[in-house]
Amino acid sequence: QVQLVESGGGLVQGGGSLRLSCAASRRTSGNYAVAWFRQAPGKEREFVAAITWTFGDAYYADSVKGRFTISRDSARNTVYLQMNSLKPEDTAVYYCAARFGVLSTTQITTITGYDYWGQGTQVTVSS
């Protein structure tokens, strides 16, 4: 079992920045990916970004490319999501999630199969 805890959400004006953190409760071995998803009111949860722990390969949704950066800190068992140039449409609850195994790009960027989830953190971007 792995517990994930998100932090760093808040209220920011459009064009501003926030950094989200996702801390894992313990070190894990093997191949796995950590991803950020978000869910806006009345919408389905959608993929935002992901990173593979072993090699640090990063994946992004088209809507956030060039604005968001995902990274990891092995010593702290933490994944970060740096969000710049925020827009009102980025407003959502952001969740981090993890899944284990040797994963394809499709598996990494698809919500199905992520077994471990954090509680979510609210990001609100004002216009």
The predicted structure's pLDDT at residue 2: 86
pLDDT bracket for residue 13 (50, 70, 90): very high
The continuous run of DSSP H or E covering 109 comes out as: helix 105-109
The average pLDDT across 96-124 equals 95
**CA atoms 110, 111, 113, 118: torsion sign:** positive
3-state class percentages of the chain: helix first, strand second, coil last, to nearest 5: 10, 50, 45
The continuous run of DSSP H or E covering 122 comes out as: strand 121-126
